[in-house]
Amino acid sequence: MIDLHTHTLLSDGELLPSELVRRAQVKGYTAIALTDHVDSSNIDFVLPRIVKVSEVLNKDWDIFVIPGVEVTHAPLNEIPILVKYARTNGAKLVIVHGETISEPVIPGTNKCAIEAGCDILAHPGDIISDDVALAAGKGICLEITTRPSHAPANNHVLSLAKRFGAKMVLDNDAHSPTDLISPEKAREFLTALGLNPDEISQVFRNSEEIVTRIKASS
């Protein structure tokens, strides 16, 4: 199991990074990304700490820890600046908080995030066709989420991703240990959304490909 979208108490999660990673390791996860919420107010505080703890845990633990961020509710003109800053300061994975239906995200965030070259557009809500096509062309993954507040848009995202050939990943957007799910639960979740076994395997491979790329560059 791989989760590329999680939060610790460095933003709005419940656990220290080490405890979240340890709990994921015990549940059989092979890789996890620490992607706390950032904007221009805190990225210079949060990111170095995520980078440091990831380096420490990767020395001894049998789980691959990826330092990352989730650019969240940032003004549109700040998104590309923050994405670039994150990449040049140790983030191996950059997520942008998409236009979820459950929060007042600035309209245009989805497109701006894709144009800025994020790795994953998180819970993109009622994303429009043009933005999905743009993501497909750039190889940027659209997130299918198990988080209840964002999940109602999953079917919409899936439908357009299939139509335009956009890559999809499944993430937990974990804020607490109870948000971490097993591979079996992940398969059940995707099956309930109407994906067939081959499509489910491809979703998992998309996450694996991201992890493989990051390992190769580390």
Residues of 177-190 as b/e, b for ≥16 C-beta within 10 angstroms? bebbbeeeebbebb
Between CA 9 and CA 11 the distance in angstroms is: 5
Q: Which CA distances in Å does 207 have to 79, 144, 167, 202, 213? A: 23, 12, 10, 9, 10
What CATH number has the domain spanning 2-217?
A: 3.20.20.140
Q: What is the CA radius of gyration of the chain?
A: 16
Write down the domain spans for the chain. 2-217
Spatial contact of 85 and 111, defined as CB atoms under 8 Å apart:
no
Cβ atoms within 10 A of the Cβ of 69, count?
Answer: 31
Between CA 207 and CA 121 the distance in angstroms is: 13
The DSSP code for 60 is: H
Residues of 1-23 as b/e, b for ≥16 C-beta within 10 angstroms? bbbbbbbbebbebebebeebbbb
Burial classification of residue 34, based on how many CB atoms lie within 10 Å of its CB (0-12 exposed, 13-18 middle, 19 or more buried): buried
Which is nearest to 202 in space by CA: 141, 121, 150, 125? 141
Between CA 3 and CA 123 the distance in angstroms is: 14
Instruction: Give the pLDDT confidence score for residue 218 in this predicted structure.
Output: 80
Which is nearest to 91 in space by CA: 113, 119, 64, 111? 119
Spatial contact of 13 and 7, defined as CB atoms under 8 Å apart:
yes
Instruction: Give the pLDDT confidence score for residue 44 in this predicted structure.
Output: 98
**Residue 168, both tokens:** 């999809």
The tens place of each residue's pLDDT in the chain, 218 residues long, gives 999 999 999 999 999 999 999 999 999 999 999 999 999 999 999 999 999 999 999 998 999 999 999 999 999 999 999 999 999 999 999 999 999 999 999 999 999 999 999 999 999 999 999 999 999 999 999 999 999 999 999 999 999 999 999 999 999 999 999 999 999 999 999 999 999 999 999 999 999 999 999 999 98
Instruction: Give the pLDDT confidence score for residue 130 in this predicted structure.
Output: 98
